[in-house]
């Protein structure tokens, strides 16, 4: 039988008994109690468990992190409700080590950039780049504009009626633009920017007759490896001065280059929220007609703003 259960009559034994009991755990009447610091720890754990295990607790954590975490699939949720456009998808957190030394968007003149230099430093490193005067020799610089696009798309009624999963169309904040047909039925005052009404849209050129004509106006940029896949899935982005795309991240197959054919566009790049403590803050650059920006839009959150007084026209294509 333990010392605590034995009754001792001698004073010496009583002293022994008293000293054998942990101080502060037995009251005069024999009742036990928990020390204050232990109670605080238990209470704190209980509160944290209830708070962060509940839906509103998870919302608090998402706010603190800066992104929505899917606890079931263990990935970061990106959705139209957050971006205001786009598609729902869940992405894995990125390796923040690849952007920790990127604080500016590099700028290189086309004459100073070789295929090997691009391949080694930019092609697969997620380092953003602007190549100046890269497309000045393209026929698109003199030909591609709103009216040329309108002529191609309205040349055959079957073109605008064509439906395919690759026929992506984004009206961004121009909510009254229901589809691509709406774009080519605009009144002249909106096209010539005399009404003051802003609009901005983008789409994939999935219609073969238009794509075939478009490929005659541009070529693979000179700094991209000749053995890479030729341009095959062009996109067009067009709009008047004002806001372009709100900050978002894409879910496409590869990195892309975007050639500024007409107008001037300002770009803002921000690292993913899970990398805010590792990588730099927002970077910005301005691209002019003839420039190309090379960017992994699956990695960098990006937004644009059209400046100046000209309609912005951009050709975009992925590269491998």
> From CA 276, how far away is CA 281, in angstroms rounded?
7
CB 76 within 8 A of CB 91: yes
* Amino acid 45: pLDDT: 58
Place of tokens 């700094």: 223
* Amino acid 82: pLDDT: 46
Among 63-67, 148-152, 171-175, the least confident range: 63-67
End-to-end CA distance of the chain: 79
Neighbours of 139 (CB within 10 A): 12
* Amino acid 10: pLDDT: 45
* Amino acid 54: pLDDT: 56
Q: What is the band of 132 on the pLDDT scale with cuts at 50, 70, 90?
A: very high
Q: Which of residues 86 and 133 earns the better pLDDT score?
A: 133
For 284-311, give one letter per residue: b (16+ CB within 10 A) or e: ebbbebbbbbbbbbbbbbbbbbbeeeeb
Give the pLDDT mean for 257-265.
98
- pTM (two decimals): 0.78
What Å distances lie between residue 233 and 32, 166, 226, 267, 319, CA to CA? 76, 9, 17, 22, 10
Handedness of CA 143, 144, 149, 152 (dihedral sign): positive
Give the pLDDT mean for 159-187.
92
Quick: pLDDT tens for 56-112: 555 666 566 666 777 787 777 776 554 444 457 788 888 888 888 899 999 999 999
pLDDT higher than 80, residue 214: yes
Give the pLDDT mean for 208-233.
93
pLDDT higher than 70, residue 277: yes
- Considering the chain, what percentage of its residues have pLDDT values greater than 90? 53
Tokens encoding 5:
């259960």
* Amino acid 4: pLDDT: 42
Give the pLDDT mean for 37-62.
57
Parse the chain into domains and list their residue ranges: 96-318
pLDDT higher than 60, residue 17: no
> From CA 291, how far away is CA 135, in angstroms rounded?
7
Helix ranges (H only) for 124-187 are 140-143, 146-153, 157-161, 180-183
DSSP state of 32: B
Quick: pLDDT tens for 101-129: 899 999 999 999 999 999 999 998 889 99
Tokens encoding 123:
């092609």
- Considering the chain, what percentage of its residues have pLDDT values greater than 70? 76
Superfamily of domain 96-318, CATH level 4? Cupin (2.60.120.650)
Provide the 3-class DSSP secondary structure of residue 164: coil
Mean per-residue pLDDT over the chain, rounded: 83
């Amino acid at each position: 039988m333990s010392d605590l259960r034995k009754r001792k009559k001698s004073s010496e034994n009583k002293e022994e008994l008293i000293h054998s009991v942990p101080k502060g755990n037995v009251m005069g009447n024999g009742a036990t109690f928990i020390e204050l610091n232990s109670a605080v720890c238990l209470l704190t754990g209980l509160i944290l468990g209830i708070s962060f295990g509940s839906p509103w607790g998870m919302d608090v954590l998402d706010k603190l992190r800066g992104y929505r975490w899917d606890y079931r699939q263990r990935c970061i949720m990106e959705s139209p409700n957050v971006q205001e456009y786009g598609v729902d998808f869940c992405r894995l957190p990125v390796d923040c080590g690849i952007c920790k030394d990127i604080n500016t968007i590099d700028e290189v003149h086309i004459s100073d950039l070789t295929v090997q230099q691009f391949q080694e430093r930019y092609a697969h490193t997620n380092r953003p780049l602007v190549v100046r005067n890269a497309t000045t020799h393209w026929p698109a610089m003199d030909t591609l504009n709103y009216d040329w696009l309108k002529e191609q798309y309205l040349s055959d009624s079957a073109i605008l009626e064509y439906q395919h999963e690759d026929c992506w169309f984004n009206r961004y904040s121009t909510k009254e633009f229901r589809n691509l047909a709406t774009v080519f039925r605009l009144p002249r005052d909106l096209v010539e920017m005399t009404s003051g009404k802003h609009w901005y849209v983008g789409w994939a050129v999935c219609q073969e007759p238009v794509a075939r004509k478009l490929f005659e106006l541009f070529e693979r940029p000179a700094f991209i490896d000749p053995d890479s896949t030729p341009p095959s899935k062009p996109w067009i982005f067009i709009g008047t001065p004002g806001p372009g795309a709100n900050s978002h991240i894409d879910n496409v197959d590869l990195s892309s280059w975007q050639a500024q054919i007409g107008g001037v566009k300002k770009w803002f790049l921000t690292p993913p929220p899970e990398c805010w403590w590792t990588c730099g803050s927002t970077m910005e650059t301005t691209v002019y007609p003839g420039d190309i920006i090379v960017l992994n839009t699956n990695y960098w959150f990006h937004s644009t703003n059209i400046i100046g007084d000209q309609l912005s026209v951009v050709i975009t294509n992925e590269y491998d």
